[in-house]
Amino acid sequence: MKKFLTFMLIIFIFVFLTNLPYSDSASNLPLEVIQISENVLVISAKTGNARAVALNSSKGIVMVDAFWSPGIAKQSREIIQKKFNNKKFIFLINTCEAILSTGGNETFADIPIIGHVNCRTGMAKRIQNQSYYFARTARQFQERVDRTQRQMQNLDPNSEDYKESKWWLDLCQRIADDYSKGYQIVLPNITFKETMTLDLENMTLQLYYFGRAATNGDIIIKVPEEKLLIMGDLFHYVHVLPLSESDVEEIDVQKWLEVFDIVLNDSSEIKYVVLANAEDIWDRAKLESRRQLIQDVWEKVLEADSGGLSLDATLEKLNSIETEFPYTKNWEGFSFENGEIIRSDVKRTARAIWKKFHKSAAAKIEQVLIDFGKKAAIKEFHKLRSDDQRIYYFSESEFNTLGYKLMNENKIQYAIEIFELNVEMYPQSANVYDSLGEAYMNDGQKDLAIQNYEKSLELNPENENAKEMLKRLGKKN
């Protein structure tokens, strides 16, 4: 009995120590280390949600992602070497091109780096304007440092909020310092397009291209022996669907579903899902619930289309998440009363699905404008609006983008016409009046500019831009 209790005490101490925040010196950041199996370490920042994964294979250590900058990557590499008692690294894999996954690649320049071909292409663009990229990133993180310092002045130094703010401040300062000094942007030197497999004796790494999402090079890594999935910056922090900063027509929702079907097939036992940017480690059930939402949005969009609904009507229908996706009410940390994130995610994904099967009215109008002029473009606009809108879709954001494009080309009268058409389509949108007001202001039509900024402010009293423009135009509240 005494031997058993001693053994259990040793196990408890091991588990406790392997999950403690790691910090060798005051200059190091407090990084959390979680050992989910004998051969898998998850390293994460105490704030900021970024994660890296280390796999201790029979052939050597595989590092998945390299954090924001070389300084942080160097610290994580040292942690992994000590935890595994192994200094042999054989691969670094970038799950996406985002800074939180590739900023530290320089630290692993001594080993092969694997990434999707689009990841390499995206990173290569940074090299073309490297000094600007470093300066901009350093400035962004220094602004976060300054903002956090101001916020901490109102916090109790003994509170948890103060402690977490200090972690965030230290993290942002480290990143700002690394980018101020600059470093070598190291690109993946081994790339693939669809799939890639690494046989490492005690484990197999199956790499799948996910399709356009947060970036154009996101991948999923499946490690069957460890019951593990590792994902890029797909469900960014609080988002319930894969985040994308791209134009929605580039998002490939059908590809997402196909890849999820592969990695979540019934014969696979998945216990851990580690994401590059999330608050916690997911289980299979949580990922499957998100996959189900993607599937449901896909099916509901196609059903709405076959029923003759327009894009706007479809988005309005899906905006009622209480009715359309009632199971989301059971998701941890989510409520219908605070559902703007899920509404935004659903709307963006639904729009991407719709655009896969329809043509852009904004693109058509732009081409008519170029080829035949303003009158022909306006006539075509009204013709498309009266025709079956299942062929062409109308998008407030696309027409707004077209208007600004024309304004930037000094085609101010064309821009005004496009913004006026957008107001005609979306008379309850504060943003369309704001844009039209800007066009009138640039054209010297002060009274009309004031009129539209006031309308924008009426629809959205929180529109700070409209308030500022009205001041510039000499309008007193």
> pLDDT tens digits, residue range 21-40?
333 333 577 788 999 999 99
Q: What is the largest CA-CA distance in the chain?
A: 92
Question: Rounded distance, CA 224 to CA 218, Å?
Answer: 20
Question: Rounded distance, CA 155 to CA 369, Å?
Answer: 56
> Which of 103-112, 292-301, 374-383 has the least mean pLDDT?
374-383
The DSSP symbol for 60 reads E
More confident residue, 381 or 243: 381
Question: Rounded distance, CA 78 to CA 67, Å?
Answer: 14
Tokens 């963006």, residue located: 348
CATH number of 22-126+187-282: 3.60.15.10
**pLDDT above 70: percentage of residues in the chain:** 90
Q: What is the mean pLDDT of the chain?
A: 86
Name, of 86-95, 127-136, 246-255, 422-431, the range with top average pLDDT. 86-95
Report the pLDDT averaged over residues 379-386.
86
Report the pLDDT averaged over residues 373-381.
88
For residue 339, the model assigns a pLDDT of 66
Strand duo 113-116 + 272-275: pairing: unpaired
CATH-assigned architecture of domain 359-472: Alpha Horseshoe (1.25)
Res 248 pLDDT > 60: no
pLDDT band at 210 (very low <50, low <70, confident <90, very high): very high
> pLDDT tens digits, residue range 228-245?
999 988 887 667 777 655
> pLDDT tens digits, residue range 125-148?
888 888 888 898 999 999 999 999
> For the sheet containing 190-192, what is the strand order?
21-22, 31-37, 40-45, 51-57, 60-64, 89-93, 113-116, 190-192
The pair phi, psi for residue 41, each rounded to 5°, is -115, 140
Report the pLDDT averaged over residues 202-210.
96
The DSSP symbol for 460 reads -
For residue 246, the model assigns a pLDDT of 47
Closest among 394, 380, 475, 409 to 437, alpha carbons compared: 475
For residue 250, the model assigns a pLDDT of 67
For residue 347, the model assigns a pLDDT of 87
In terms of C-beta density within 10 A (0-12 exposed, 13-18 middle, 19 or more buried), how is residue 174 classed? Answer: buried
For residue 237, the model assigns a pLDDT of 65
For residue 244, the model assigns a pLDDT of 55
> pLDDT tens digits, residue range 424-461?
989 999 999 999 999 999 999 999 999 999 999 899 99
> pLDDT tens digits, residue range 290-346?
999 999 999 999 999 888 888 888 989 999 888 999 888 888 766 555 567 788 888
Res 54 pLDDT > 90: yes
For residue 338, the model assigns a pLDDT of 57
Task: Note the pTM of the prediction, 2 decimals.
Answer: 0.78
For residue 233, the model assigns a pLDDT of 82
Beta strands in 236-372 (DSSP E): 272-275, 359-360
For residue 336, the model assigns a pLDDT of 55
For residue 4, the model assigns a pLDDT of 47
pLDDT band at 12 (very low <50, low <70, confident <90, very high): very low
Cβ–Cβ under 8 Å, residues 381 and 392: no
Res 14 pLDDT > 50: no
Strand duo 89-93 + 204-209: pairing: unpaired
Give residue limits of the domains in the chain: 22-126+187-282, 285-356, 359-472
